[in-house]
Structure 1
Amino acid sequence: MSLTLLQAWQSAKKRLEAARLDGPVIEARLLVEAAADATRADIVADPYRELTPEQEATLADYLQRRENREPVSHILGRKGFWKIMLSVTPDVLTPRPDTETIMDAVLPAFPEAMAFSVLDLGVGSGAIILAILSERPAAKGLGIDVSEEALAVARENAANLGLASRLALLRGDWTAGLGDASFDLVVSNPPYIASHVIETLEPEVRDHEPRLALDGGADGLDHYRLLAPEILRVLKPGGMFAVEIGFDQKLAVEALFKAAGAQGVSTIPDLSTRDRVVTGTKNPLETRG
C-alpha cells in the first residue's frame, strides 16, 4: 500500500529525528514536498493523497542522502534567502539566515527609489546582491568571485529572478583589476573560519561546502586584512560597506576598518544576538589622492 502525504511526512520526520538532525520537522516536509511534487497546502488539505512508487523511491533517496549529512539545499538544489529563491550547488555556500543581517543593515540606508551602485565581493550564489537588487529596482550591481563555477550559479540565479540586466558578473581576485571604479555600497561575506577549525565543523559544512569560501587563514582574518583598505579604496566618498564576520571577530575586524580610515564603524548582531555584520562609511569629504 502506498504512503500518503501525511504518512510520508511523519515517517520522514521519524527517520531524521533518529539520525539526530536539526530541524527534522521542517526538513522532512521540504523533502516530502519535493519528492511528491506537493506543497505545504497539499499536505494540510489533502493529507491522504498517495505517493506514486516513483515518488516514494525519490523520497527514500532524499532521506538516505540527508542521513548521510548532505545538506537539504544540495539535495533539492535550491534555498530561500530573504525574499528570493536561489539555485544552490556544491560550488557555492548555502545561503544562511545569519547573512540576512546584511540586508537589515543596508536597506534602511538606501531608499527604494534611489539609484545606486553595489559591489558584492565573493558573490557566490548571488544571494546578497540579488536580494538587494530585488528590493531596490533602481540599483545596479557588480558581483566578483574567483570561482567560475560560482559565477555560473550567480548568473543562473540572476536570470531566474529577472535581474540579469542589472547585474554584471566578473571573475577576479577581490578588487584586483577594478582600477578607479567606485561604488555607493560594498557588501561581502568573505571566508572567515580559521583553517584549523574547519575539520571540527558539522559534516554538512565540512564535507559539502567549498573550502575556498570557508578558509580564512590561520586566525580567520586573512581576507579582512586585504579587504578593509581595498573596500575603502573602491567606495565613493560617503559610501557604505557591510561585511559578515564570525561571531568572535568583532573587535579585530572593526579595528582593521578603522585603521583603513572607515568612519562610523559598528557591528550589528544577528537574530541569535551574535555579532554578525560590521558596517561603516567612507569619509564623505575624502577625495582621491
Structure 2
Amino acid sequence: MLVETPTLAQAIAYGHQQLMPSSDSAKLDAQLLLASVLDKELSYLLTWPEKVLSKAQRQAFLSLLSRRIEGEPIAYILGFKEFWSLPFKVSTATLIPRPDTETLIELVLVHFAEKAQLSCLDLGTGTGAIALSLASEMPTWHIDALDFSEDAVALAKFNAKQLNLPQVNIYQSDWFEKVPSNSQFDLIVSNPPYIDGDDVNLSQGDVRFEPKSALVADNNGLADIEHIAKQAKHYLKPQGRLYFEHGYQQGAAVRALLENLGYRAAQTVTDLNGHERISWAIFSHSHE
C-alpha cells in the first residue's frame, strides 16, 4: 500500500515493486508514469526524491500504474513514443514505433546518403515514424506517406506538424489505390502487417492493445508483403529499391518472394537483436 503522502522516491519504489511481475522495465515505467503526472523531466525525479506528492497526484499516479499493471503499453498511457530520437504522438489507431524499425532507417540512409534529390513512398505509415525520420535526416527528399486508416493519417499529419516536417505528403490510401498511376519512386518502404493470425504472440504483451489490422496478414503473414511487391513494380524507377520490415523468421520467404517476382539482389539485414528484420531488393524493368 502506498502511503497517503508519499515522496517521489517512495512512489517510484512502490511502482517498481508493483510492476516487476508484468514489466521488463518496471522501475523506468514507474519513473515515466510519475514524471507524466508531475509534467516533469525524468531528471526532476532524481534531483528532488524527497518532494511529496499531493493527494491528487498520488491518485493520478496509482491510476496510471493500474493501467500499466493490466499490460497497457507505456506509450499508449503516456501518449507518445520516442523513435529515431524524435517524439511521436501515438494512439490505439496505430502500432507503437519500435527500435527494430530504426534498422530500416539506417539501411536506407546508408544506401542513399549521397542523394540530395530522391523520391520515396512509405506504405502503411502509421504514426509517420519511417517517413518523418527519413525527412528529418534528408529534408530535400520528396517523401509521400500513406495509410489505410484515416485516424492514422491524422496522427501522422499531427506528428509532421509537431516535428516541423511539412514537406512530407501524407494521405489516405489502401496501399497503391490512390497513388497517381504515373508516379515513379526511387525507393518504396513499408512496415506492413506480417504476423500470422494464429500466432500465439498476438495474445501476449503490448500487441494485445494494438490494432490487429496493422499486425495480421493472411498466407502465414506474407499476403500484404506479396501484394505490395507485385504492385510496387509499376511505381519504381529503373533500378528502384523496395524495402520491407518483416518477422524474424520470414527473411528467406521474403527474399524468395521478391526474386520470384523479378526483383534482383534480394538481401536481408538483421536488427539490434540479431534477428532477420529488413529485406530489400532492386527492380530492373528489363526483367519485368
On the 8 A contact 1:192/1:220 being kept in 2, the answer is: yes
When structure 1 is superposed on structure 2, of 24-33 and 104-113 the one drifting more is: 104-113
For 2:220, the aligned partner's letter is: D
**How far, CA to CA, are the matches of 2:283 and 2:70 in structure 1?**
46
On the 8 A contact 2:93/2:152 being kept in 1, the answer is: yes
Partner residue of 2:100 out of 95, 98, 101: 98
1:8 matches 2:11: yes
CA deviations over 1:234-273 (Å, ceiling 9, x no partner): 1111222221010111111111111222222100001110
Q: Which consecutive segments of 4 or more residues in structure 1 shift more than 6 A?
A: none
Partner residue of 2:53 out of 45, 51, 54: 51
Instruction: Give the match's secondary structure for 2:36.
Output: helix
Deviation at 1:108, TM superposition (A): 1.0
**How far, CA to CA, are the matches of 1:214 and 1:258 in structure 2?**
24
On the 8 A contact 1:79/1:88 being kept in 2, the answer is: yes
On the 8 A contact 1:112/1:136 being kept in 2, the answer is: no
User: Quick one: structure 1 residues 240 and 218, their matched pair in 2 at CA, closer, same or farther if it must change by over 3 Å?
Assistant: closer
Partner residue of 1:197 out of 183, 196, 199: 199
Name 2:252's counterpart in structure 1.
251
On the 8 A contact 1:195/1:218 being kept in 2, the answer is: no
**How far, CA to CA, are the matches of 1:49 and 1:254 in structure 2?**
56
**How far, CA to CA, are the matches of 2:234 and 2:244 in structure 1?**
15
Instruction: Give the match's secondary structure for 1:246.
Output: coil
**How far, CA to CA, are the matches of 1:20 and 1:176 in structure 2?**
42
Deviation at 1:113, TM superposition (A): 6.4
Deviation at 1:125, TM superposition (A): 0.8
Instruction: Give the match's secondary structure for 1:195.
Output: coil
Deviation at 1:22, TM superposition (A): 1.9
Q: What are the ranges of 5 or more consecutive residues in structure 2 without an aligned counterpart?
A: none
For 1:16, the aligned partner's letter is: L
For 1:25, the aligned partner's letter is: K
On the 8 A contact 2:33/2:64 being kept in 1, the answer is: yes
Partner residue of 2:129 out of 127, 140, 148: 127
User: Quick one: structure 1 residues 200 and 131, their matched pair in 2 at CA, closer, same or farther if it must change by over 3 Å?
Assistant: closer
Q: What are the ranges of 5 or more consecutive residues in structure 1 without an aligned counterpart?
A: none
Name 1:279's counterpart in structure 2.
280
Aligned length: 284
CA deviations over 1:139-189 (Å, ceiling 9, x no partner): 12111111111111111111110112x111221111123212111121100
**How far, CA to CA, are the matches of 2:177 and 2:287 in structure 1?**
18
Deviation at 1:200, TM superposition (A): 4.5
